[in-house]
A and B are shown apart, each in its own frame.
Chain A
Amino acid sequence: MKAADQRRARSENGLSENRSDSNNAKHRSDHLHFWVRALFATRRQRERVRWGMLAVSLALCLPLVPWTKATTVLPALSPFVAIGSLLAGAGGTLSLFGAASCVALVCAFRRRFLCRFVCPLGLLQDCAASASFRSLSFRRVSVHRVPRIGHWLVLMTWCGAACGFPLFLWLDPFSLFSALFGGVYRDWLWVVPTVVIAMSLVLPQLWCTKLCPLGATQDMLHWPVTWRRRQTCSKKRSPLRPTPLHDRVAVPRRAAMSSAGFVLAGGLGGLLGSRFRRLSGQESPPPLRPPGAVDEDQFAALCIRCGNCLQACPPKILRPDFAPNRFAGLAAPLVHFDTDYCREDCHACTQVCPSGAIDRLTLEQKLKHPIGLAQIEFNLCLLAYDKECEICERVCPMEAISFAWSEQEYTVIPQLDVDRCNGCGACVVACPGDNKWERKGNPNIPRRKAITINQRN
């Protein structure tokens, strides 16, 4: 009560101040109003909220706010991702699912709540669409007859998740948005979201109404309410109001068809999901993932390719994987030690994963959590050539490398303490020893350093 009183008093004060300075203030507010209108181009309340959410999303994804976990917020709101990763076995990240369950609850009662008020990708598409029809005079193509692929995608993903691989989790619009703005442009993660936005130049609404898995998820969450409303409608025998786009499930014939379709989609998703890893080619040992990554099978599945970790990594050693022989992990982050190493004072990537693919680790935990294991090939080491080196010992933050005298080789040989090494790659980056002599004769032979990081067995 007290607080409310104070607030009222404060606002009254504000008013009186305004009044005392009314002319000036009016002028200013006119001015402001003009710009706000120009910026929002609409007076409708909902549009304003959407623009506001776009601004907030941008601030979170770029991120403009000084908060390490900012980039997680948007993707963590998606019930599609939350349910998908839960089914795929993400554990230990319950805090992630809290936000999504609240959102899910709202969506159950407010139809397409996220689409209408939050989704920044949707707004960008709307902008693209209106721009294209106004200035580029594209022909508007109706997407009326396109089946609801989104529902299929959702079911396939969830059933796939339960059976091994959440097939289309990466199509979540929030993580696409994150990948578009947060993701590092050179990493190609921007391609899919750009395609999605470009699509609305010619086919407006196609994505939102028919394809978007998050939209479909919201529809599904809303089903109980839709279903009840339909029942009351039929009881009252009220004339059918013109059904809004999203409520066309209400037509009985279509509903029957789609339930058969749903079963089919679920079955197909389950089948594909259980076979996916085998179909996509497994590699052993698996490639190097960020510290704290869950085991490879799950990692490729849980990662939603939002690019948060790539963006968070200060030395930029995480890059998406485009190796053709393992497309289960397509575009999931890989660790590269060609330019820099995993810093001993950083655990940024472990803080920003919205799907539970990377465990939240404290700095101490991260230091003990191995990315891989260093392996030293003495043949390529400068010490085998009597050169002055031992750089690896100096740079290793874990003090895992030492040197032992070998009477037989008559030199000192680098030794690795397997328990200390966490595969951070500092030694790899610094090591000057490589297969230069081999490449002299044949430059096609790839460069190989005396130290490499390999997956631990």
Chain B
Amino acid sequence: MTSRLSRREWMQLYGGATIGGLAAGSVSGVARADLASRNDAPAGVQADVTGVQPCSLVNGQVIQPQKVIPSIHNTEVLVVGAGPAGTCAAIAAARGGAKVTIVERYNHFGGLSTGGLVLVILGHWVTGKKQVTQGIGEEIMQRLDKLDRGIVNRRDGVNPTVDAEALKHVTGEMVLEEGIDVFLHSWAAEAIMDDNVVRGIVFQSKSGRQAILADQVIDTTGDGDIFAAAGADHERRKYHIGLPYRIGNLDRVDRSKSNGQRPPRHIGSVTPIPGVNWVNMHGPDADGLDVRELSRLELNHRRQIWKQVEQLRSTPGYEEVYLMETAPQMGVRISRALKGTENLTLDGVKKGQRFVDCVGVGGAWNGDHQEWDIPYGSLLPTKIDNLLTAGRSLSHEPKMSDLIRVIPNCWVSGQAAGAAAAVAVRDNVLAREVSIPKVRELLLEQKAYLG
């Protein structure tokens, strides 16, 4: 294939190539963006960034010309992906005194917990009905409490359900209050590396391909897009991918017609909106990084949801029920897991293992076991520096997935990553060298629970 190009020419072209932004799923393992911003522009780089530079088809291969990507923004802490983990990370870092920027591919905050229509807050309490999720997570719930129809079932020992729009509103307000820079509709595609240190990211949006430089980067994309792009060690996993949805008119159900009978399948559970239920979906084990798979599942799931609602409507008494919306965002539970300097194991949780670098405490789904420590090492890649992760991609063994990925635990790990990044910026040290006591102190200031 390379015979027509000289080896040198090929290297130049390929080494400078940035990959197609939308196929973030194929980021891993491909050459990183080698931004020439610091070095002298190598041969073949065109300084004209405004000019059109289409890719070319060379010998059956799509080649992107090497080009300078405009660096449009400088920040201290850059949070990529604003799901539960990302929002808490950004807010914690901002409250820790850092200048924070968020890059999010969709048009709202909350990730799966809003756009993914995952509405049940699961895992914030442990045996003895003790709530271990405090800090920003608890603040979010308290703010929801104050809203009309923001959250239901907020009782001790019960898993509450939130309204997606209310959660979008609350997190949006909190982000604005902290003066955080926000880039929505911006899909992060590349990590900018300086040897082993992450310096920022390249993202794609309607404004084209642009870069943001940062002192500390937090990857809360859930899928570990950035740590994979940066070349951090990680594992790819398959897990159930489903598509939750909401149904309406439950207040018009005539239950007398089906008294004493088993409730129909796919009826879901209550939400803060009267007459509206949330229906979860498990889905098969699939690769959340394979865009073909995601597309196929999306269509299958939608077809199935329609079938399920029709089935529900054919149940006596449930004729009025209708499909309100399906989640705009596909429900990928686990895709990549970082290989951190510390790995969370289920055995450790069961045995009550504690860590000296504990920066958060995770809970149980039904308060059926003890609390467990989230060590800083599970957020920290083994080799890459100034990069942290949090949320469902932190370092854990497969058996731990269900514990680390639930929303409250993502809030907690996100807040921990944010606070650590803020301390690193303040002390001007690498994320790896950050002082754990200082991070814990900042977290305690932010009302986090650390055991």
Query: Interface on A for B, CB 8 Å cutoff?
Result: 379, 383-391, 394-395, 405, 410-412, 429-430, 432, 437-438, 441-442
Q: Which of B44-52, B83-91, B210-218, B261-269 contacts A (4 or more CB under 8 A)?
A: B261-269
Q: Please tell me if the beta carbons of A388 and B285 are within 8 angstroms of each other in the complex.
A: no
Q: Which 5 residue pairs are nearest across A and B when measured between Cβ atoms?
A: A441-B260, A405-B284, A386-B280, A411-B282, A412-B282
How many residues from B make CB contacts under 8 Å with A? 30
Residue of A nearest to B305 (CB): A410
Q: Please tell me if the beta carbons of A441 and B259 are within 8 angstroms of each other in the complex.
A: yes
Residue of A nearest to B118 (CB): A388
Q: Bound complex: CA of A387 vs CA of B266, how far in Å?
A: 9
Residues of B close to A395: CB separation below 8 A: 368-369
Decide yes or no whether B126 CB sits under 8 A from chain A: no
Q: Please tell me if the beta carbons of A412 and B240 are within 8 angstroms of each other in the complex.
A: yes
Q: Please tell me if the beta carbons of A386 and B279 are within 8 angstroms of each other in the complex.
A: yes
B160 CB → nearest A CB, Å: 14
Where chain B touches its partner, the secondary structure class is loop
Residue of B nearest to A394 (CB): B402
CB within 8 A of B282: which of A379, A383, A430, A442? A383
Q: Bound complex: CA of A264 vs CA of B266, how far in Å?
A: 70
CB within 8 A of A405: which of B266, B279, B285, B365? B285
Q: Bound complex: CA of A410 vs CA of B308, how far in Å?
A: 10
Decide yes or no whether B346 CB sits under 8 A from chain A: yes
Q: Please tell me if the beta carbons of A430 and B368 are within 8 angstroms of each other in the complex.
A: yes
Q: Please tell me if the beta carbons of B366 and A390 are within 8 angstroms of each other in the complex.
A: no
Give the most central of A411, A429, A438, A442: most B CB within 10 Å: A411
B40 CB → nearest A CB, Å: 54
Residue of B nearest to A440 (CB): B260
Q: Please tell me if the beta carbons of B282 and A386 are within 8 angstroms of each other in the complex.
A: yes
Decide yes or no whether B304 CB sits under 8 A from chain A: yes
Residues of B close to A441: CB separation below 8 A: 259-260
A410-B308, A438-B262 given as contacts; is B268 within 8 A of A386 (CB)?
A: yes
A383-B282, A405-B284, A412-B282 given as contacts; is B368 within 8 A of A391 (CB)?
A: yes
Q: Please tell me if the beta carbons of B267 and A432 are within 8 angstroms of each other in the complex.
A: no
| Per-position binary interface string of chain B over residues 266-283, scored 1 when its CB falls under 8 Å from any chain A CB and 0 otherwise | 111100000000011111
Q: Bound complex: CA of A36 vs CA of B268, how far in Å?
A: 73
Residues of A close to B35: CB separation below 8 A: none
List B107-165 residues whose CB lies under 8 Å from chain A.
120, 122
Residues of B close to A394: CB separation below 8 A: 346, 399, 402-403
Q: Bound complex: CA of A437 vs CA of B265, how far in Å?
A: 12
Residues of A close to B261: CB separation below 8 A: 437
Residues of B close to A412: CB separation below 8 A: 240, 282, 284
Residues of A close to B282: CB separation below 8 A: 383, 386, 405, 411-412
Q: Please tell me if the beta carbons of A391 and B262 are within 8 angstroms of each other in the complex.
A: no
A302 CB → nearest B CB, Å: 35
Residues of A close to B403: CB separation below 8 A: 394
Residue of A nearest to B261 (CB): A437
Q: Bound complex: CA of A384 vs CA of B260, how far in Å?
A: 18
B118 CB → nearest A CB, Å: 8
Residues of B close to A387: CB separation below 8 A: 269, 280
CB within 8 A of A388: which of B122, B265, B266? B122
| Per-position binary interface string of chain B over residues 216-254, scored 1 when its CB falls under 8 Å from any chain A CB and 0 otherwise | 000000000000000000000000100000000000000
Q: Please tell me if the beta carbons of B267 and A385 are within 8 angstroms of each other in the complex.
A: yes
